[in-house]
């Protein structure tokens, strides 16, 4: 019988492919069904974040940071703002810190929901995807209540946040958390002991903890291999050192462990949010409904012009619905007390000349937030791992160099290592659990 000649097949899992995770190209060489080598090509979504941030001022970089890891935009915002604040050497009020923690954790939950939902969908569990997106909608409604937008929020500012939490946030947040817990319970019963899911996810995409550390992998991916590194615990920032939460750590480093780590992390994030809601310093004291009433801004300006300052102190002027949450009584809670960095409350801008000058000095071209010359690196715990911002300033009003250390870049560089030896069909769950976000990978 003649010997059959076998050759390896080249399969191009091209940039446009059904996994809704983004655009990436994997050129795999197959021997039958086994992958013998894989070459990963990225850069299809390179949008020049670092170059664009050199053309705008410090607060203007914030919309660009939203679009980095676009499923958890608030973590990027807060990370960048905290890096610039480190460069400036200023600190924010405590309530602002708690607000940042709450919205960051909400963002982390939405990221994990999207990741687990999408990767479950690719394995055929379409129901779980729909349930998780339903939970994500509740959280996005919550984010919209606070920031005004669902996805690209631009909520952080250098020196604070855009506005305080609205009234009724507490209750809405607890309801959203309750709904998310229900969804997670349902998804758990559908997936965790599902024979097909477990068989497809266990044992595939394994990586050892030494290899993971060498590749610079951090976040849930690293924790699933057994190394307990979480930036919130090991290099705490903001108010994380006062909050109690656990860091789930896996053992085997395969896809199933990563799934379990992410599910547990969502629960821990909800725990953090509940503690933060309990511990947050209180908001403004409610004004007496008889004597304290919101007045139109024009009336306030007129009163100020004739000198009735005493009559309008502690009054809230209704300026614009979009300025909700940043009114004068709330301003000191959400903004660092630094005139060179944060805009004044609108009542001051329109009410007195000092406020107007303050506003002018921060908004006009050439003026604005101008940190001292220097360089800083500030890491935060992104949903995929350590998200670091390295900022170099030369004293001008726009950054000299902004570098994002993307967590999923390291994971993607390890992808060939993860898939070689597995079958072609294991590429899908492995790639799904990598949680590659194109905006962050290619920037």
Binding positions for another protein, 47-66, rule CB under 8 A: 47-48, 50-52, 54-55, 63-64, 66
CB of 329 to another protein, least distance (A): 27
The encoded tokens of residue 21 equal: 């995770």
DSSP 91: -
Do residues 380 and 237 touch, judged by C-beta distance below 8 A?
yes
SS3 393: strand
With CB under 8 A as the contact rule, which of the stretches 15-23, 176-184, 273-281, 421-429 interacts with another protein? 15-23
Binder to another protein among 8, 17, 271, 284 (CB under 8 A)? 17
Binder to another protein among 271, 403, 420, 424 (CB under 8 A)? 403
Residue (39 or 185) nearer to another protein, CB: 39
Tell me how crowded residue 147 is: count the other CB atoms within 10 A of its CB: 21
* Interface pattern 380-399 for another protein (x via CB under 8 A): ------x-x-x-x-xxxxx-
Q: Does 293 engage in binding with another protein (CB under 8 A)?
A: no
CB of 117 to another protein, least distance (A): 9
Report the C-alpha dihedral over residues 145, 134, 266, 432, rounded to 10 degrees: -120
Binder to another protein among 254, 370, 382, 433 (CB under 8 A)? 370
Question: Among all chains, which residue has been given the structure tokens 């007045």?
Answer: 295
* Interface pattern 152-191 for another protein (x via CB under 8 A): x---------------------------------------
SS3 268: helix
CB of 95 to another protein, least distance (A): 23
Q: Does 359 engage in binding with another protein (CB under 8 A)?
A: no
Q: Does 354 engage in binding with another protein (CB under 8 A)?
A: no
Q: Does 241 engage in binding with another protein (CB under 8 A)?
A: no
SS3 214: helix
User: Which residues make Cβ contacts (< 8 Å) with residue 160, sequence separation at least 6?
Assistant: 92, 93, 96, 334, 335, 336, 342
Q: Does 87 engage in binding with another protein (CB under 8 A)?
A: yes
Choose among 250, 218, 215: nearest CA to 233.
Answer: 218
| 316 Rama sector, left if φ>0, alpha if ψ -120 to 50, beta otherwise | beta
Using CA atoms, how far apart are residues 146 and 154, in angstroms rounded to an integer?
Answer: 11
Binder to another protein among 65, 104, 107, 114 (CB under 8 A)? 114
SS3 217: coil
Q: Does 150 engage in binding with another protein (CB under 8 A)?
A: yes
Q: Does 140 engage in binding with another protein (CB under 8 A)?
A: yes
Q: Does 137 engage in binding with another protein (CB under 8 A)?
A: yes
CB of 334 to another protein, least distance (A): 20
Alpha helices in 294-406, H assignment, sequence order: 297-305, 309-312, 328-334, 346-351, 353-363
CB of 417 to another protein, least distance (A): 8
């Amino acid at each position: 019988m003649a010997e059959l000649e076998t050759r390896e097949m080249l399969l191009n899992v091209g940039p446009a492919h059904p996994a809704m995770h983004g655009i990436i190209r994997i050129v795999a060489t197959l021997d039958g069904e086994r992958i013998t080598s894989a070459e990963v090509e990225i850069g299809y979504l390179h949008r020049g974040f670092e170059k664009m941030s050199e053309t705008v001022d410090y607060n203007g970089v914030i919309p660009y940071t939203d679009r980095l890891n676009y499923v958890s935009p608030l973590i990027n915002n807060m990370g960048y703002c905290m890096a610039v604040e480190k460069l400036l050497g200023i600190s924010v009020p405590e309530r602002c810190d708690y607000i940042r923690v709450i919205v960051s954790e909400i963002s982390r939950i939405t990221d994990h929901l999207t990741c687990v939902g999408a990767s479950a969908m690719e394995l055929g569990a379409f129901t779980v995807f729909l349930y998780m997106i339903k939970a994500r909608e509740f959280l996005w409604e919550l984010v919209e209540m606070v920031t005004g937008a669902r996805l690209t929020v631009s909520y952080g500012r250098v020196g604070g946040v855009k506005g305080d939490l609205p009234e009724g946030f507490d209750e809405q947040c607890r309801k959203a958390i309750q709904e998310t817990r229900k969804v997670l319970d349902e998804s758990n019963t559908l997936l965790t002991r599902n024979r097909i899911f477990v068989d497809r996810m266990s044992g595939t995409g394994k990586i050892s903890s030494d290899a993971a550390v060498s590749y610079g992998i951090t976040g849930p991916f690293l924790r699933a291999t057994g190394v307990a590194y979480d930036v919130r615990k090991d290099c705490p920032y903001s108010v994380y050192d006062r909050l109690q939460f656990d860091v789930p750590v896996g053992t085997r480093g395969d896809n199933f462990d990563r799934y379990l780590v992410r599910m547990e992390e969502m629960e821990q994030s909800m725990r953090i949010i509940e503690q933060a809601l309990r511990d947050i310093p209180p908001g403004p004291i409610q004004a007496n409904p008889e004597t304290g009433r919101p007045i139109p801004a024009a009336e306030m300006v007129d009163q100020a012009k004739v000198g009735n300052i005493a009559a309008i102190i502690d009054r809230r002027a209704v300026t614009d619905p979009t300025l909700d949450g940043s009114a004068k009584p709330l301003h000191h809670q959400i903004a660092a007390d630094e005139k060179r960095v944060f805009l004044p409350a609108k009542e001051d801008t329109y009410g007195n000349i000092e406020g107007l000058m303050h506003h002018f000095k921060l908004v006009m071209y050439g003026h604005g937030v101008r940190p001292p010359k220097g360089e800083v690196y500030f890491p935060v715990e992104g949903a995929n791992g350590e998200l670091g911002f390295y900022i170099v300033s030369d004293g001008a009003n726009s950054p000299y160099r902004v570098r994002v250390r993307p967590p999923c870049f390291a994971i993607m560089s390890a992808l060939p290592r993860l898939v070689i030896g597995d079958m072609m069909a294991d590429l899908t769950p492995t790639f799904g659990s990598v949680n590659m976000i194109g905006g962050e990978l290619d920037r």
